[in-house]
Structure formats: C-alpha cells, structure tokens
Amino acid sequence: MSKLFLPLAIKGITLKNRIVVSPMCQYSSIDGFANQWHLVHLGSRAVGGAGLLITEAIAVSPEGRISPDDLGIWKDEHIGKLAEITDFIKAQGAVPGIQLAHAGRKGSTYTSWKGNGKIPVAEGGWETVAPSAMPFADDYPHPAALDLAGIQKVIGDFKASAKRAYEAGFEVAEIHAAHGYLLHQFLSPLSNKRIDQYGGSFENRSRLLLEVIDAVKSVWPVDLPLFVRISATDWSASEEGWDLPQSIQLAVLLKEKGVDVLDVSTGGNLASAKIPVGPAYQLPFATAIKKETGITTATVGLITSAVQAETILVNEDADLILFARELLRDPYFPLRAAKELREDIAWPEQYARAK
Ligand SMILES: Cc1cc2nc3c(=O)[nH]c(=O)nc-3n(C[C@H](O)[C@H](O)[C@H](O)COP(=O)(O)O)c2cc1C
C-alpha cells in the first residue's frame, strides 16, 4: 500500500488519504456568502478524490477580509450556504475543513483581477488593524494598532466563527496564522513593535495566537481536529524576523495546547523577502518541526506529483501533503495519482466507466 493513500485517523475523523486541498482564496463572494462557484470549486475536488478539503481563508469579521470578495463566517446567515458545501463534500467520502482567518494590515485590497493595491474607504474599503501602525508595503493601507479591546474582539470573532463553522458541518478547523495575516503579524518582530503584553518577547508575540486557540477550543468539539497554519520563516535577511527556531518553540506550545496538525508554509510578512522557490522548497521546515517536536505536520508548496508526495511520506518528512495549484490545474489529480502509484481506489460510481 502506498503511503499517500494510507488513511490517517486524527481524533474522531479518518482521512481516506493524505491528499489535502490547500486553502485557496477564490475572491468570488458577495458579502461573505458562499455561492455556486464555491460549491463547484470544492465539490469537484471532492469528486476528484482528495481526502481533506480546506476552504479558502474565511474571514471571521468584515474587517478581517483580504478583499471585499472573500468568503466570511461573521454572521449566522453565512452558515446555510456553507452547509450545502460540507454536505456535498461528506457525500463524496471526503472531510470538509475550514480556514478561519483575519487579514489584519493586508486587508482592504483589490482582488488581483479587479485592481491593484489598497481600496480606499470611499471606494468600499475599510480601516485595517494590525499589532502596530505600520503598512505591509507602500501600496497597502495604513493600519491602526489594535488596542486591548480590539484584541479581545478579534479573539471573540475567532471563537464565534469556529462555533458557526461546526454548525455549518466542518470537521476540521484550521487557524490561519501564516502569510503575513493578522496572527502572523503578531508573531513576527518585523510587524509587531508593541510594548505591552502582546509584543516584545517571544512569549508576548505568541500570546494572541495562543489565546485564539483557547477560544476556538472552547467551542470546537474535542473529537474534531484543530490545525494551525504558520509561516515557519519570514525569509528575512536580517536577524529580526520570525524564523525556524521560533517556529519550533511555538510548535512545542501548540502541541501542549492540543493542536493536532501544524500546516507549515512560509513567508508573506516581508514584501522584500527573497524566497528560494523550487520543488517542495518548504518541506525542510515541516520536517525540522516534526523531528524536533513530534507534532503531526502538513507540508505545502510546489509539490506537483504523486511520486514526489509519496517520497515525502515514505521518508517520514511530513504526515500530510497539501496541494494548491496542481489541484487547480487538475481537480482529479488524486484519481490520477492513485493510478500512478498502482492503488485501486474507489472512483465516484458516476465516473466508474472511465477508471
Ligand atoms: C489562488 C490561490 C489562493 C490562495 N489562497 C490561500 C488562502 O486563502 N489561504 C492560505 O493559507 N493560502 C492560500 N494560498 C496558498 C496555497 O494554499 C499554497 O500554500 C501555495 O499556493 C503553495 O502551494 P502550491 O505550490 O501547491 O500551489 C493560495 C494560493 C493560490 C494559488
């Protein structure tokens, strides 16, 4: 049996294989609502055989969106359309996961095919928030530094959204603390210049993420998995940024808190970063974190073939493989991968004549 198609039990759920649809913003929503696009996008990848599908970054508050076109889960009305999607995913034997997100200072920006950079408030944008009043880059909005009441609101928004996510039928919750969005902004000394209990030391910079995890766990069922996505490094040339040793230190704390899977990405918080992109270029970070802490890790980034994914698992360099662009090119990649690895997996009955 290949490792890629070996089921993985995490708490009360079992993934039928190790192929995960990585979160991918579709920028196709109005007022945060899911629609037919999201159903077909996620639904076809469930038909295509992925074991776990994690939605795009779904905003926990309107000001937590990246663009006005992001999905949201900040009100109960959002639950119904999301539930149609989770029902369909489950009917294909796959597991629906949700990425809960707050964009912080990277919010109020145009969807790439609609414009460039920040959206002024007068044109439908909003006031963004961050740990410190520093923009991500010149063409990004100037954020306001969150005060303590604002931080409490963020924590409450993640909690309420996690509760709605469960009501919408999701079985995995992933907290987005990567890619330069709000929780990563707090972790990294590049974006966090606070002098209160949420800034300065490693302990203080990690505080918000840990409090968000506690809040989410207070409403998320104990038998359902909780993932956290981090950027393991800022790829900063200076000594100042977030880096692998801090990620390992954080992973120890997350494991103690009962986080089930660490989804290890990199970058996104430093506009000028030089990133040595290549096949599986982020894997060494997931491997180091797994080996140092024993936490279950997921790897992502330029993994594009069945053999490449299988090799990672056989070497025990990571436990789950997330695919993003390969699954945009081919939603049926898992069915093809099974054939390549000589696995006889079940196809949707409707498609069996093509097997
Ligand atoms: C269209 C698109 C949208 C994305 N949106 C998200 C997102 O919402 N949340 C997230 O954590 N990563 C997002 N990413 C990053 C992917 O999840 C993934 O980490 C990255 O594309 C590297 O994997 P790949 O080489 O398999 O594409 C997005 C990537 C793409 C291509």
**Residues 236-282 pLDDT 10s:** 999 899 999 999 999 999 999 999 999 999 999 999 999 999 999 99
pLDDT digits (tens, 9 = 90+) for 193-234: 999 999 999 999 999 999 999 999 999 999 999 999 999 999
Structural domains for the chain? 8-354 (3.20.20.70)
Q: Is 252 helix (H, G, I), strand (E, B) or coil?
A: helix
Radius of gyration of the chain (CA): 19
Q: Of all atoms in ligand 1, which is nearest to the CA of residue 99?
A: 9
Distances from the Cα of 51 to the Cα of 3, 38, 320, angstroms: 13, 18, 10
pLDDT tens digit sequence for 134-189: 999 999 999 999 999 999 999 999 999 999 999 999 999 999 999 999 999 999 99
Asked whether the beta carbons of 229 and 213 are under 8 A apart, the reply is no
The reply to whether ligand 1 has any atom less than 6 angstroms from the CB of 300 is: yes
- How far apart CA 102 and CA 275 sit, in angstroms, is 24
Tell me, in angstroms, the distance from the centre of ligand 1 to residue 23's CA. Answer: 6
CA of 195 to the centre of ligand 1 (A): 33
The finding on whether 57 has its CB within 6 A of some atom of ligand 1 is: yes
Cα of 197 to ligand 1 centre, how many Å? Answer: 32
Q: What percent helix, strand, coil does the chain show, rounded to 5? A: 35, 15, 45
Question: Does ligand 1 lie within 6 Å of residue 325's CB atom?
Answer: yes
What is the arithmetic mean of pLDDT over 281-285?
Answer: 98
